[in-house]
Amino acid sequence: MIRVENIYKSFGEKSILCGVNLEVCSGQTFVIVGSSGVGKSIFLKTIVGLIKPESGIITIDGIDITKCIVSDLRKIQKKVGYVFQESALFDSLNVFENVAFGLRSLTNLSEEEIKNRVTKCLTMVGLKNVEHLKPANLSGGMKKRVAIARTISYKPNYILYDEPTTGLDPIMSDVISDLIISLKKYLNVSSVVVTHDMKSAYKIADRIMMLYEGRIIFSGTPEEVKNTDNEYVRQFVEGSSRGPMQQIDRTFKMG
Amino acid sequence: MKKTLNVFQFYKANQAFVYRLIEGLGKAVWMVLETFACIFKLEINCKSTIEQMVEVGWRSTPIVILTSFFTGMVLALQVGNATSNLFNEPVYVGTVTGFSMVIELGPVLTSIVVTGRVGAAITAELGTMKVTEQLDALYTLGTSPVKYLAVSRFLACFFMLPILTVISNIVGIYGGLILSTNTWGLSTYTYLSQSLDFMTVRTFIHGFIKSFFFALIMVIVACYKGFNTENGAEGVGKAVTGSVMTSIVLILVTDYFLTTLLVALRIK
Ligand SMILES: Nc1ncnc2c1ncn2[C@@H]1O[C@H](COP(=O)(O)OP(=O)(O)OP(=O)(O)O)[C@@H](O)[C@H]1O
Ligand SMILES: [Mg+2]
């Protein structure tokens, strides 16, 4: 179980997270939505320990990641997978080596097994015959899928996805949504998914929560989201530029 | 009122700077300790260490040979000129060229040339990995960036720079020889006996020890600057400049103090 209590994080004067709580039980898929720049990526990174919050507690299966010892940290790294928003593939390694990286560092599989597992994971994200390519020679969507394959390869119990379907065509988005669902079904993986893609969110989520101004302003099942009268959520879901979240000056006058 | 240098006032005025300096030093020390821990536990990736050694050692050899050859020649030319003016004939050409190369120019010049080539490349590569979140990705895949990236580079620089220095010494003396036989009409025997007669094992060790220290400075600064790169492509550019400048300044300053120490220890 991932449990996040009262996380605070700010950069200088600007506070990004002000007391965020989250609890992900095993086999649950949690979707986080929110406007661009509210701090969704920052929040995901604090969960895996890439960013240290100013205060708050993050425990993964009972281990507090902000103050645990190295051997515990390794256990947690093995349990938690992270898909980066910008893919973050190792550009000195080819696709095969990228996907095999986690298998080599976190598991004791033989070369033969690694080879099979890599091919299988790449097929699961709809990629074939790309093993020998370097990340620089892939399209954005292909990179994203390689990044997903790299994360699912070592079968973590928890996977945090930062916008897994952004930049993919609608069909591929649906393939990835199905992948997240089947990982949950067959391997009991719990996921936290940051996404702007409401169609995919409704399909995969057990719960959807919305982040706004450093706080969670809404949390509920997809049905509840569809029927809510929370103005912020409605504006976001409908994708309307008119509503309580005013981001721009509507007069559109230049100069 | 008397104006005194008040440490406390200085601290107050530069508080942010002092904090950053201490924080930076702390991070660097931590990185070095982690590197040593990995080396002592033999957590070394042999394949990538060898790749780095080829990059640092073999691929730097041409540039080191080229610069050392010309440095040896210009030394012999200058010494010959100066002594000709004073004594009407070139004397001590071999001695001064040999000594200068082995104790001073070999180690310093080689490390500066290698800093420009290898130090810059290390910082650029690690810095790019930092700003594209590849270091974060390493962490989530259970691998420490220091163990995976720094250890192999550290070992490669530490062992290759002294070897390059020896090559530089030999080529420099050879450059001096070519010039002396052609311009000053010395025989090969005269030049070489001048060079080697006064040189002892200690002279050689003096230069050799320095090159190990310079290697450490270069690789620690390069890795540190790379790992702490911030702010995208612009940041990578700044980190590379900072890395090369810091290394060169530290090498030259350390050179003075190290020489003083080695002379005091009679390694000269
Ligand atoms: N190192 C930093 N220093 C200062 N501010 C930062 C830093 N990193 C992120 N921020 C700020 O934190 C806020 C949240 O960033 P974050 O990347 O989490 O947004 P996001 O919700 O993931 O947006 P998007 O949907 O566009 O990916 C942004 O406003 C950003 O400017
Ligand atoms: Mg983001």
In a domain, A194, yes or no: yes
Note the pLDDT tens digit of each residue in A222-235: 888 888 888 888 88
Q: Whole domain around residue A137: which residue ranges?
A: 86-155
Looking at the 3D structure of chain A, how many domains does it have? 2
In a domain, A16, yes or no: yes
pLDDT band, very low/low/confident/very high, at A254 (cuts 50, 70, 90): low
Residue B145: is its pLDDT beyond 70? yes
Residues A239 and A250 in one domain: yes
Ligand closest to Cα of A39 equals: 1
In a domain, A95, yes or no: yes
Residue B12: is its pLDDT beyond 90? no
Note the pLDDT tens digit of each residue in A32-84: 998 888 889 999 999 988 888 888 889 888 888 877 777 778 888 888 999 99
The verdict on a CB contact (< 8 Å) between A50 and B136 is yes
Query: Tokens 């949690």 label which residue?
Result: A30
pLDDT band, very low/low/confident/very high, at B246 (cuts 50, 70, 90): very high
- Closest by Cα among A156, A155, A148 to A125: A148
User: Which atom of ligand 1 has the smallest separation from the CA of A11?
Assistant: 4
d(CA A148, CA B216): 39
Give nearest CA residue, ligand 1 atom 20: A37
Residues A118 and A75 in one domain: no
Residues A91 and A113 in one domain: yes
Residues A131 and A112 in one domain: yes
Note the pLDDT tens digit of each residue in A127-185: 888 989 999 998 888 888 899 999 999 989 999 999 888 888 888 888 888 888 888 88
Residues A68 and A98 in one domain: no
Report the percentage of chain A scoring pLDDT > 90. Answer: 22
**Cα separation values, A181 from A172, A177, A205, Å:** 14, 6, 9
Substitution target from A90, A157, A192 for chain B, most B beta carbons within 10 A: A90
Residue A13 is predicted with a pLDDT of 85
**Cα separation values, A71 from A99, A109, A120, A152, A174, Å:** 24, 20, 30, 22, 38
Of the listed ranges A105-114, A236-245, B25-34, B48-57, the one predicted with least confidence: A236-245
Query: Mean pLDDT in chain A?
Result: 87
In a domain, A209, yes or no: yes
pTM for this entry: 0.88
Residues A20 and A54 in one domain: yes
Q: Count CA within 13 A, CB hemisphere, residue B35.
A: 21
Give mean pLDDT, residues B213-235.
93
Give mean pLDDT, residues A94-119.
91
Which of B129, B133, B142 lies at the smallest CB-CB distance from A77? B142
In a domain, A174, yes or no: no
d(CA B195, CA B95): 4
Residue B1: is its pLDDT beyond 60? no
Query: Mean pLDDT in chain B?
Result: 91
| Domain end residue (candidates: A155, A181, A208) | A155
Residue A96: is its pLDDT beyond 90? yes
Residues A162 and A237 in one domain: yes
Mutate which of A7, A8, A9, A11 for ligand 1? The one with the most ligand atoms within 8 Å of its CB, which is A11
Residues A162 and A240 in one domain: yes
Residue A245: is its pLDDT beyond 80? no
pLDDT band, very low/low/confident/very high, at A250 (cuts 50, 70, 90): low
* CATH code for the domain in which residue A198 is found: 3.40.50.300
Residue B4: is its pLDDT beyond 90? no
Residue A231 is predicted with a pLDDT of 83
Cβ neighbours for A187, distance < 8 A, ≥ 6 positions apart? A155
Note the pLDDT tens digit of each residue in B22-76: 888 998 898 899 899 989 988 888 899 999 999 999 999 999 999 999 999 999 9
d(CA A122, CA A124): 5
Residue B11: is its pLDDT beyond 80? no
